């Protein structure tokens, strides 16, 4: 954390007596949350698993870049370009530090989806052969499923899945050792399920996979920014996450890859910037991470992502995790207290979200009615169609939280759900 951010935290009164965080003061740093929605109702934003809101500090970082430092990076020999380049590469160092990585282990991408696609294309091109197996779980978001389906089709490989047991999102953990057979070359899995909140034992799985020579990729879209994440402690080969889910802008994310894994992979995209030398007949490429960043990179996005990391660290990831756990436990308890509502997902610890169903009300109708009361939630299959079919559901409503949500908002959600039930009865 920079001294500037420590000062900013104190000035904004985030911590009261005894060092306790003033969550109301933190919430006040998010301009969008203080507004009125449909029918004059205050906004209740319960869709942070889809995209988090942005604090003023991140908005200011973007404005500063565009107002004072906007230029293309790496190629220019003038001062403005040099400043932009320094900010961009400083952002890479900051993002690397946020997850315990080294600077040359971070590739900037458009988000988790592009990061997974990069590995599914480039790593598989170098390593996957006919007859090989890619191991996934039945919890996966389409972004950590469809790219592997395409890779398997290209290379004559097949997919295998760690099964879900029952309707609470519990995985058959005992099955994993038997599933990691010699044919498995890649084990790609979600860290926290975006639809059920199930938390997977990432470090344990990566250790087991490594002992069997299996490469691992962790989809950390729902964990980075919510819990402390250190890639060295997890022991994964790859890890992907998105900026827009951790208080940073849209259109930016990061792929972590070990230096050896990135070095062994061919480029994903071709173009300017990622080259070392180009001739009419052939080209040579920069070392990683440069060889994976073709064209003009997302400069402002990277700077905004670094600002998001600064912001979260100024609060403290342990404090954010504890706040998430408290609010989520209250959310699940409240959902189960509303007549006709059933929360879906793990009974114990989970990510900061809960899917749920309401008896006799389609999820789309439920979230549409809730929106008219100012409550913003997601309704549908949450990009996990196979999982929904496995659970016998057409879809669910999903309430997802972040540290800027409040206990009062959860109480108001219960009132809205009760009104929804009466309306559709």
Provide the pLDDT for residue 269: 94
pLDDT band per the 50, 70, 90 thresholds, residue 77: confident
Helices (H) and strands (E) in the chain, counts: 16, 17
Long-range contacts at 18-26 (CB < 8 A, ≥ 24 apart): 21/315, 21/316, 21/319, 21/323, 23/323, 23/403, 23/404, 23/406, 24/406, 26/315, 26/403, 26/404
pLDDT digits (tens, 9 = 90+) for 373-385: 999 999 999 999 9
pLDDT band per the 50, 70, 90 thresholds, residue 1: very low
Tell me the residue ranges of DSSP E strands in 33-130: 44-45, 106-109
CATH level 3 topology of 60-313: 3.40.640
pLDDT digits (tens, 9 = 90+) for 206-231: 999 999 999 999 999 999 999 999 99
| Lookup: tokens for 233 | 């402690």
Domain with CATH 3.40.640.10 in the chain: 60-313
Distance of CA 86 to the CA centre of its chain: 26
Is position 383 annotated as part of the catalytic site?
yes
pLDDT digits (tens, 9 = 90+) for 354-368: 999 999 999 999 999
Q: What CATH architecture is 3-54+316-424?
A: Alpha-Beta Complex (3.90)
Other residues' Cβ atoms within 10 Å of the Cβ of residue 281: 5
pLDDT higher than 90, residue 238 = yes
Enumerate the β-bridge partners of residue 160: 135
pLDDT band per the 50, 70, 90 thresholds, residue 48: very high
Least confident window among 150-154, 181-185, 250-254, 420-424 = 420-424
**C-alpha to C-alpha distance for 155 and 346, rounded to whole angstroms:** 36
| Lookup: tokens for 36 | 């009125």
Question: Is 379 strand, coil or helix?
Answer: strand
**C-alpha to C-alpha distance for 296 and 307, rounded to whole angstroms:** 20
Q: Which of 124, 236, 309, 383 is catalytic?
A: 383
Q: Please, which residues have CB within 8 angstroms of residue 388's CB and are 6 or more apart in sequence?
A: 195, 381, 382, 394, 395, 396
Q: Which residue's structure tokens are 């519990």?
A: 170
pLDDT higher than 60, residue 6 = no
| Lookup: tokens for 128 | 């996957």
Percent of the chain topping pLDDT 70: 96
Mean pLDDT, the chain, as a whole number?
94
Mean pLDDT along residues 60-66: 98
Domain with CATH 3.90.1150.10 in the chain: 3-54+316-424
Nearest CA among 375, 380, 372, 378 for reference residue 353: 378
Mean pLDDT along residues 318-328: 98
Could you tell me if 386 and 161 are in contact, meaning their C-beta atoms sit under 8 angstroms apart?
A: no
Q: Exposed (0-12), middle (13-18) or buried (19+): which is 169, by Cβ within 10 Å?
A: buried
Enumerate the β-bridge partners of residue 134: 159, 186
pLDDT higher than 50, residue 9 = no
């Amino acid at each position: 954390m920079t001294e500037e951010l420590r000062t900013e935290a104190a000035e904004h009164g985030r911590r009261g007596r005894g060092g306790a965080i003033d969550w109301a003061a933190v919430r006040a740093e998010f301009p969008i949350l203080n507004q009125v929605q449909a029918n004059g109702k205050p906004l209740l934003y319960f869709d942070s698993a889809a995209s988090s809101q942005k604090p003023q500090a991140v908005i200011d970082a973007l404005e500063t870049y565009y107002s004072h430092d906007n230029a293309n990076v790496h190629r220019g020999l003038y001062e403005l370009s040099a400043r932009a380049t320094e900010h961009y590469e400083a952002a890479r160092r900051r993002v690397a530090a946020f997850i315990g990585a080294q600077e040359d282990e971070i590739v900037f991408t458009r988000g988790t989806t592009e990061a997974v696609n990069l590995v599914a294309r480039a790593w598989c091109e170098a390593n996957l052969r006919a007859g090989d197996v890619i191991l996934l779980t039945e919890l996966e978001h389409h972004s950590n499923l469809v790219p592997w389906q395409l890779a398997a089709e290209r290379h004559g490989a097949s997919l295998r899945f760690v099964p879900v047991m029952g309707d609470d999102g519990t995985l058959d953990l005992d099955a994993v050792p038997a599933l990691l057979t010699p044919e498995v070359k890649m084990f790609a899995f979600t860290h926290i399920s975006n639809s059920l909140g199930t938390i997977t034992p990432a470090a344990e799985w990566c250790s087991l996979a490594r002992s069997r020579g299996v490469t691992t990729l962790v989809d950390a879209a729902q964990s980075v920014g919510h819990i402390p994440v250190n890639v060295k402690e997890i022991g994964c080969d790859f890890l992907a996450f998105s900026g827009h889910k951790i208080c940073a802008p849209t259109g930016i994310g990061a792929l972590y890859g070990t230096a050896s894994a990135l070095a062994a992979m061919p480029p994903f995209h071709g173009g300017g910037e990622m080259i070392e030398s180009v001739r009419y007949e052939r080209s040579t490429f920069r070392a990683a991470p440069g060889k994976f960043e073709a064209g003009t990179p997302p400069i402002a996005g990277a700077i905004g992502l670094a600002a998001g990391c600064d912001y979260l660290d100024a609060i403290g990831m342990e404090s954010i995790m504890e706040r998430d756990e408290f609010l989520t436990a209250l959310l699940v308890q409240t959902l189960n207290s509303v007549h006709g509502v059933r929360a879906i997902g793990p009974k114990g610890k989970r990510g900061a979200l809960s899917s749920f169903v309401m008896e006799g009300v389609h999820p789309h109708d439920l979230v549409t009615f809730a929106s008219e009361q100012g409550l913003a939630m997601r309704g549908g299959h949450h990009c996990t169609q196979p999982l929904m079919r496995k659970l016998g559901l057409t879809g669910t409503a999903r309430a997802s939280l972040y540290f800027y949500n409040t206990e009062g908002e959860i109480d108001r959600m219960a009132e809205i759900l009760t009104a929804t039930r009466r309306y559709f009865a």
